[in-house]
Amino acid sequence: MGRLKFAPGLKPEPPSPRSAEYAAWAIERDRRDREYLASVPANIAREEREISLALEAGKVFVVNGDMHRVHHWECPAIRLQMDREAAWNGYAEQELAATHHSITGPHGGPPMPVLMTRDEVEALPSYRTCERCSVDVSHRRKSRTPIGRRDTRPAIFDSKHLGRSVEHADGTPMGEVVRVTRTIDASGTRVTLETTAGTYEMDGDARLLIVEKVASPSPHETPTTPHNPRSF
């Protein structure tokens, strides 16, 4: 949305109610408020058309938030998002209340639902399905992290990590951890990771994958763990 132009001589914030320009300011503000309210039905109609077209194109899933929560478009949990009249109802009133003392006036609208096809949902690196509508997609919870791996970062490595297999974030093996040396300076934590495959210098917050331990077949099995406790 472009920047609103002000009528000549009018500032966005209210002048003193006793000043000469106050009446003109208040009239302009009220005109903008009315203009905004008058535009709401057309916005609702346009958004409803957009949603119908998306549904016709097979975009029947709604994906919300950073967690990529996936809903079926008819899910009751997102009714207030899909029903544009209901969405605008609460929103327009709040906008008016929030901007009443500014001539920039209310603007914008309630966020539109993000509609996707099944293929688009499946292409997301991660998502989790809503428990209310439990959509029919391949995962209940799809994680960026491959099965059998856990996200980690070298800054937290300690003696427990010795002997563990680690991988770069893209899954490239880095060998088993032999020694970890941390250096802390003004720019943060740097880690020197020595493994059976080589030596890696990295930022302490670099994203790595650690291979999950498989349940040990025998409780008496002792892992061969090279270690040097003084490295920590």
Query: Cα(128)–Cα(145) distance, rounded to whole angstroms?
Result: 13
**Residue range at the interface with Zn ion (CB under 5 A); choices 76-84, 153-161, 187-195, 221-229:** 76-84
Give the Cα-Cα-Cα angle 151, 156, 158 (nearest 5 degrees): 115
Q: Does 96 bind Zn ion (CB under 5 A)?
A: no
3-state secondary structure 64-98: ECCCCEEEECCCHHHHHHHCHHHHHHHHHHHHHHH
Q: Does 137 bind Zn ion (CB under 5 A)?
A: no
**Residue range at the interface with Zn ion (CB under 5 A); choices 32-40, 64-72, 96-104, 183-191:** 64-72
State the minimum distance, in angstroms, from the CB of residue 127 to Zn ion: 12
> Which residues, in sequence order, are bridge partners of residue 61?
72, 116
Q: List the one residue from 46, 100, 101, 132 that touches Zn ion (CB under 5 A).
A: 132
State the minimum distance, in angstroms, from the CB of residue 129 to Zn ion: 8
User: Is the Cβ–Cβ distance between 150 and 157 less than 8 Å?
Assistant: no
With tokens 């899954």, the residue in question is: 171
**Residue range at the interface with Zn ion (CB under 5 A); choices 21-29, 68-76, 210-218, 221-229:** 68-76
**Residue range at the interface with Zn ion (CB under 5 A); choices 23-31, 132-140, 178-186, 210-218:** 132-140
Q: Strand, helix or coil at 178?
A: strand
> Which residues, in sequence order, are bridge partners of residue 180?
193
Q: Does 82 bind Zn ion (CB under 5 A)?
A: no
CA 102 distance to own-chain centroid: 31
State the minimum distance, in angstroms, from the CB of residue 49 to Zn ion: 23
Q: Does 114 bind Zn ion (CB under 5 A)?
A: no
Q: Does 75 bind Zn ion (CB under 5 A)?
A: yes
Q: Does 29 bind Zn ion (CB under 5 A)?
A: no
State the minimum distance, in angstroms, from the CB of residue 140 to Zn ion: 13
Residue 101 CB-density burial (10 A; 0-12 exposed, 13-18 middle, 19+ buried): exposed
Report the residue number, 133 or 193, with the smaller CB distance to Zn ion: 133
- Give the binding site for Zn ion (CB under 5 A): 71, 75, 77, 130, 132-133
